[in-house]
Copies of this chain bind each other. A is one copy, B any other.
């Protein structure tokens, strides 16, 4: 790396997600040298990824170049590259861009979809973790209507107009709501041979209610709203098979051209390099201060850590607010220790600001200060909170406008099918085969 060692502690942050980026920003004026490494050049506001996947927003609306975010921090370098290995003994991370030595390491590399032993499902049922995932889902979603429009028989048409989402967490619920709205309200008049209002959206959940991590009243409201909107729910229904033509649950086969995986994630494999026990979901069981057992100089944060709130003893939910609070906690801790060799570390305390999920136009569920509510008030809270947290004023402003516009006109702004199929240069894929078409 081109950076010299100044004698100040070297903090290396892996991952520019909510935890990593918040931590980096918290170190802006600290007497440390920060290196933030990510394999993307941009931070993504993941809670709104489903809006990219459903052609409501453009990727740029929910993303911010990481360099831009930390450009005024002279103590911070950004490296675009992938970390392949962590060596806790030598205190280096091995990346595309060479070895990077650290005094303090913050591991916030996040999670990725996991198919519970069925990796072959991945190609039929993409997950939604990156901008690329969202663009692929958008592409396939929009193409399904096109294929249905030119379908040669009724079976094929029905299959193309059936959308299955596996997993009824917030992402699954939000996708299902958006998709049924588009099929019923947005696109009907654009097609001549099909009635897009007949499209089926099926939401499958292994657990016995939607939004399993939410208070029960939120689940009930969401369940009612989804059914009213026309989403078909299959609860307590673990998926037993996914292939290119559909999905099977215990005693039902659903023919579907479009399947999306929103059911589970697993932590980055970098966790395995730490030499510390992982929980049953592969997450690092961190100390109360968020450090890795036996390695006070390594912190694990966000989706790849199992964090227990030291005040309540409850597990911190894997959502953006928790990740941001973790990043801030570690930044404060690093600043204190860099300024004075302070004694014991303060344990992490999670401030539960509530849970939120949107279902559709004017429909959402929320729990704030222990009170569950739904409908318009919840939707308004949801919209305000999400716009507020989007990084950068420009994005905030644009997202508000896009929403306002979409709300008034019921159009979808980003309804593009991009990508090219090298085989016929025709319809193709966002991720076609030719590196440079």
Given contacts A136-B437, A420-B431, A435-B433, contact A415 B190 (CB under 8 A): no
> CA–CA, A130 to B437, complex, Å?
11
- Chain A interface helix/strand/loop/mixed: loop
Type the 1/0 row for A400-426, where 1 means its CB is closer than 8 Å to any CB of B.
Answer: 011001000101011111111000111
Among the listed B67, B136, B427, B436, which residue makes an inter-chain contact with A431, where contact means beta carbons less than 8 Å apart?
B436
Closest partner residue, chain B, to A421 (CB atom): B435
Please tell me if A384 contacts chain B, counting CB pairs below 8 Å.
Answer: no
Of B397, B424, B436, which one neighbours A122 at CB under 8 angstroms?
A: B436
Q: Which of B61, B401, B418 contacts A135 (CB 8 A)?
A: B418
Known contacts A190-B67, A191-B67, A431-B432; A81/B150 CB under 8 A:
yes
Residues of A in contact (CB 8 Å), total 74
A42-B415, A81-B150 as given contacts; A436 in contact with B123, CB under 8 Å: yes
Query: Which listed residue (B61, B71, B427) contacts A80, Cβ 8 A?
Result: B427
Cβ 8 A contact of A426, one of B96, B397, B424: B96
Contact B2 A193 (CB under 8 A): yes
Write out, one digit per residue, whether chain A residues 12-28 have a CB within 8 A of any chain B CB (1) or not (0): 00000000000000000
Q: Give the residues in chain B near A431, CB-CB below 8 Å.
A: 419-420, 431-437
- Determine the chain B residues whose CB is within 8 A of the CB of A427 once the complex forms: 39, 80-82, 96
How far is B145's CA from A79's CA once the two chains are assembled, in angstroms? 11
1/0 per position for A112-147, CB-CB distance to B under 8 A? 000000000011001000111101100000110010
Contacts of A59 in B (CB 8 A): 58, 414, 416, 418
Chain B residue numbers with a CB within 8 Å of A236 are none
Interface residue A197 (Cβ < 8 Å from any Cβ of B): no
Answer yes or no: A3 CB below 8 A from chain B CBs: yes
- A189 interfacial contact with B, CB 8 Å: yes
Nearest-neighbour CB distance to chain B for A351, whole angstroms, equals 32
Contact assessment for B436 and A82 in the assembled complex, using a CB-CB cutoff below 8 Å: no
Q: A61 — which chain B residues lie within 8 A by C-beta?
A: 58
The reply to whether the CB of A192 lies closer than 8 angstroms to some CB of chain B is yes
Q: How far is the CA of A146 from the CA of B398 in the complex (A)?
A: 27
Interface: A77 (CB within 8 A): yes
Q: Are A414 and B60 in contact (CB under 8 A)?
A: yes
A355 within 8 A of B: no
Instruction: Give A55-83 interface residues, CB cut-off 8 Å to B.
Output: 58-61, 63, 65, 67-68, 71-72, 77-82
Q: Please give the residue numbers on chain A whose beta carbons come within 8 Å of chain B beta carbons, in ascending order.
A: 1-3, 39-42, 58-61, 63, 65, 67-68, 71-72, 77-82, 96-98, 122-123, 126, 130-133, 135-136, 142-143, 146, 149-150, 187, 189-193, 394, 397-398, 401-402, 405, 409, 411, 413-420, 424-427, 429, 431-437
A/B interface sample: 22 pairs, CB < 8 A: A1-B150, A2-B150, A3-B193, A39-B426, A42-B417, A59-B416, A65-B190, A68-B190, A68-B411, A80-B417, A80-B427, A82-B425, A82-B426, A82-B427, A96-B424, A98-B150, A123-B436, A130-B420, A132-B437, A135-B418, A431-B435, A432-B435
Instruction: Sort A-B residue pairs by CB-CB distance and give the 3 closest, nearest first.
Output: A82-B426, A67-B190, A58-B58
**12 extra A-B contacts, CB within 8 A, seeds A132-B437, A394-B405, A394-B409:** A39-B427, A41-B142, A41-B415, A58-B414, A60-B414, A71-B189, A79-B149, A81-B427, A126-B437, A398-B401, A398-B402, A401-B401
